[in-house]
Structure 1
Amino acid sequence: MALVECETRSRVAVLTLNDPPVNGYTHEMMKELDAAILACRFDDAVQALVVTGHGEKFFCAGANINMLKTAAPSFKYQFCLHANETLLRLEHTPKLVIAALNGHTVGGGLEIALACDLRVARRGAGKVGLPEVALGVLPGTGGTQRLARLVGKPRAIKLMCEGTTFDFDTALAYGLVDEVWQTETHAAFLDRAIAYAQGFTTPGRAALAVGRIKRAVQTGMEMGLEQGLAFERELQAELFASEDAREGIAAYVEKRKASFQGK
């Protein structure tokens, strides 16, 4: 059984975390996720990614606690290091990544979602939060860093130190998720998430530009302003040389809808 299932639907790769009942991640799952991210990077047929969880109850409950209980300290360190590298790879991939939160998204599960560019959730499907403090540890797969960058330092400290979990509508109010959808079934939610992702792909959207916007923000925000502007210029020069830019400018001048090819 694959711990990370990958299928492509009309330019969107769907990566499903698959270890029932809670989709907790092990080193084996992270290795499969890492490999899937790399495969999607190199696949020109993939223009956007959706990350979701298997089943209707859990997106991901975080790291497999039973695994951590028996692991040596040296293994735990290397495990956390590789998980960080995997999520950085997801963040640096020049294709839009959307987390489709189909159920409970807690601990390391939320940390995976935070490494995605956008987050959509199914109303009433579960809780979200970083409750690691109850285990005597901190959110160690990027949670302390990405949550603070997303919601600000005071709220991030409060949420992590309290260790509370809350529903997706509250997460929307906090800025943790971008959309909360009312859908009758899990299948309908996933279909809507894929359709949402397809809205950022060709021919209606310049997927190359979308990917470079992502890179400019995700990487540029970690630089000083002057360095970020230089990085932005390099990405813009790359886009100006693309067929999509020529098509977009021509369509604007000719007052017609652009048809992008992702080239």
Structure 2
Amino acid sequence: MTIETRDVDGGVRILTLNRPPANAINAELMNDLHTVCEAAKNDGAVRSVIVTGSGKFFSGGLDLKMLTTAAQGGTGSGFGSKDGVFSLWTLSKPTIAMVNGHAIAGGGIILLACDVRIAARGNAKIGLNETAIGLPLPTGAFEITALALSNRQARTIMLDAELHNPDRARDLGMLDDVVEPSDLERVCIEKARLLGSYSQPAYAHTKRLLQQHAVDAVVTETDAQRRATFDVWTSPETMQALMKQLSGISSSGLKK
């Protein structure tokens, strides 16, 4: 299991992404995230959920080795309606991203899939840099981003494709708050307890109404739409950029 679970008083369940060194997203982590979100949804004792990462990363994004293998094999990869990120995004209970470190690309999507996003002050890099390496966001990731941000913020985050420190990420709308590292867990748990104290049916209904249009766009995505994204992912220019990224990862020992 690539995700650890821990319960604290007040009906709060903490999910910790634990796939060193960067908590990069692969098929196993996606499946595990789906499993733990379904468990939280069906557990009446769980009132709210916190998502965080182990080590210095919240998540470094999609495992590029998996992505290049998928692209070369013609299988594709993305945030669709049957994966863990979708399960987190549509979880009817309050969700809080406790951003302990770097949240890059797909890691930023996990962050944006949460209802509330709080980060530790510091030098962590946060952002969606997919466009910079030739990867348009799949429909699921796009809808998560577009719903979480204003149109102007989404354009800046997706098209500038830059990585930001937590304070700048807050200014751009990716984060709701930035706190001292020593206060991060306490603040997130307090927020989770507060939201968890609300009427669950009312919270779930309101959240569903807010998300419905975006969720519909994901679940009704056509094969032609998926193919259009996949064609860009597998273009020679994109594959060259991915191989360059992988070369850098191999040299540094870190997943970007």
TM-score w.r.t. structure 2 length? 0.75
Indicate the structure whose relative CO is greater, using CA pairs within 8 Å and at least 6 residues apart.
2
Distance 1:221 1:129, change over 3 A: closer
Counterpart residue number, 2:199: 206
SS state at 1:52 partner: strand
1:96 Cα offset (Å): 0.6
Counterpart residue number, 2:5: 6
In 2, the alpha carbon distance for the partners of 1:145 and 1:175 equals 15
Distance 1:66 1:222, change over 3 A: closer
1:222 Cα offset (Å): 6.4
> Equivalent of 1:175, from 160, 168, 173?
173
**Unpaired stretches in structure 2, ≥5 consecutive residues:** 217-256
TM-score w.r.t. structure 1 length? 0.73
Counterpart residue number, 1:127: 125
Number of matched residues? 215
In 2, the alpha carbon distance for the partners of 1:141 and 1:54 equals 28
What do the CA deviations read for 1:49-74 (whole angstroms, capped 9, x no partner)?
0011012x110010111222333545
In 2, the alpha carbon distance for the partners of 1:93 and 1:69 equals 30
What do the CA deviations read for 1:151-197 (whole angstroms, capped 9, x no partner)?
3334423332221111111121122111111233xxx4223312220
Which amino acid in the other structure matches residue 138 of structure 1?
P
SS state at 1:116 partner: coil
> Equivalent of 2:141, from 140, 143, 152?
143
What do the CA deviations read for 1:88-134 (whole angstroms, capped 9, x no partner)?
22222210111111101110001111111111111115111111123
1:37 aligns to 2:37 (yes or no): yes
In 1, the alpha carbon distance for the partners of 2:101 and 2:139 equals 20
In 2, the alpha carbon distance for the partners of 1:16 and 1:83 equals 22
1:115 aligns to 2:87 (yes or no): no
Counterpart residue number, 2:22: 22
What do the CA deviations read for 1:23-53 (whole angstroms, capped 9, x no partner)?
1011011000100011111100101000110
Counterpart residue number, 1:190: 185
Counterpart residue number, 1:69: 68
Given that residues 111 and 141 in structure 1 are in contact (C-alpha distance below 8 angstroms), is that contact kept between their aligned partners in structure 2?
no
**Unpaired stretches in structure 1, ≥5 consecutive residues:** 224-263
Larger Rg: 1
Given that residues 118 and 184 in structure 2 are in contact (C-alpha distance below 8 angstroms), is that contact kept between their aligned partners in structure 1?
no
In 1, the alpha carbon distance for the partners of 2:104 and 2:82 equals 17
SS state at 1:100 partner: strand
Decide which moves more: 139-148 or 6-15.
139-148
In 2, the alpha carbon distance for the partners of 1:171 and 1:92 equals 23
SS state at 1:119 partner: strand
